[in-house]
Chains A and B, each alone.
Chain A
């Protein structure tokens, strides 16, 4: 399931909805990303998340489908917020559920790694020097590439 929204989410409620009534699930793994108040050595105030409506949903659905093809998953969830966010705010939630823990852990990690390099979101941070677009990190590309090497 994919959701792109401005409003906050409730982790407990979202996970309960995801697994409700499915007693084949033995393991559920989730990751929540939060807005930091520092970028390197610079203080950061609020940030604004821009995205590409239409392509965002398409990209997230593709990432979800790839995870489902790779592991025996019973349920997956991606929630990403857009608009203005403050330090400490929740920004993203990914979750994967499977019969056993290993697939749930791996798929959850895979979902967030691919989201960071494929989904069309851009962060604009408020800094003491004015608004600044966040640069992409090479370490994110490397994290994604790791999944492309045969195990």
Chain B
């Protein structure tokens, strides 16, 4: 299982703040996970449509699309940050 968190408009579009997911077979990287999200239904397809725009953190560190994902990870998807 992995914990997946969603923030800001990614949370609103997916309708989900947090979920525990069994990693489907063949999902080894953030990029694989984004592709899988696009096939999950309307809200997810919409949230992940602009593939380059959604950012990802694994275990609370910013990562690139080629970063590996594995059981036990905390994975977060969110828009570019706008604090300060």
A residues whose Cβ falls under 8 Å from a Cβ of B: 33, 49-52, 54-55, 58-59, 80, 91-92, 112, 115-124, 133-136, 140
Contacts and interface: CB of A to CB of B under 8 A. Distances in A.
Interface of B: 5, 7-9, 57, 60-62, 76, 78-84
A86 to B, nearest CB: 17
Given A52-B76, A118-B62, A120-B7, A136 B57 contact: no
12 contacts: A33-B84, A51-B83, A55-B60, A55-B76, A112-B84, A116-B84, A118-B81, A119-B83, A120-B57, A121-B82, A122-B81, A122-B82
B7 A115 contact: no
Given A50-B7, A55-B57, A55-B60, A117 B81 contact: yes
A115 B84 contact: yes
Contacts, number: 70
Given A120-B78, A122-B79, A52 B7 contact: yes
A58 B57 CA distance: 12
B57 to A, nearest CB: 6
Contacts of B57: 52, 55, 120
B28 to A, nearest CB: 23
Given A55-B57, A58-B60, A136 B7 contact: no
Given A52-B57, A52-B60, A136-B82, 6 more contacts: A50-B8, A55-B57, A59-B60, A115-B83, A116-B83, A133-B8
A121 B8 CA distance: 9
Contacts of B84: 33, 80, 91-92, 112, 115-116, 119, 121, 140
B9 A52 contact: no
Nearest to B84: A116
A148 to B, nearest CB: 15
Contacts of A54: 60
A55 B83 CA distance: 14
